[in-house]
Amino acid sequence: MKKLVIIFFLLLSAIACKKKEFSPEGPTDVRIRNLSDQNFQEVIVSTSEKPEDIDTIGAIANGSTSDYFRFTKAYPKAEISAKINIDGSPMKFSTGVVNYTYLTYIGRDRITYEIYISDLNNRELKISNVILEEALVLK
């Protein structure tokens, strides 16, 4: 009987030591929606701390949305910069540097970052919303 109890507890502890399954970090398909009344030129997006998660989106007209771009990982916050013509001269606007340390990654999804000009004088962009479009199906 003693051996049976020991075997039972060994089996119970082995079952309890299973690793927790986490969803994959990515890839994540990202697009940018320009909510401002200005055209964005040379839009650059950085979605994580990885160097391969920096991509140049190009130009996005006011009120328009870019195509999807694939990133290995993305978070609810991103570093987005764009050149905007103010009184005929291009100026660089940015959301600022993001600390990704305690953020939760989005996973295998298609998302849209909606951005607008939050402060014209300080050249600041802001992400107003992150829309989870749909799950990303990889083949």
Q: What is the value of pTM for the model shown? A: 0.80
Beta bridge partners of 126: 116
Contact, 106 vs 74, CB < 8 A? Answer: yes
In angstroms, the Cα distances linking 52 to 72, 95, 101, 139 are 8, 19, 17, 22
One digit per residue, pLDDT tens: the chain, 139 residues?
777 767 766 776 767 665 555 568 889 999 999 999 999 999 999 999 988 889 999 999 999 999 999 999 999 999 999 999 988 899 999 999 999 999 999 999 999 999 999 999 999 999 999 999 998 887 7
The full set of domains in the chain, from first to last, is 23-135 (2.60.40.2890)
- Residue 48 exposure: Cα atoms within 13 Å on the Cβ side: 20
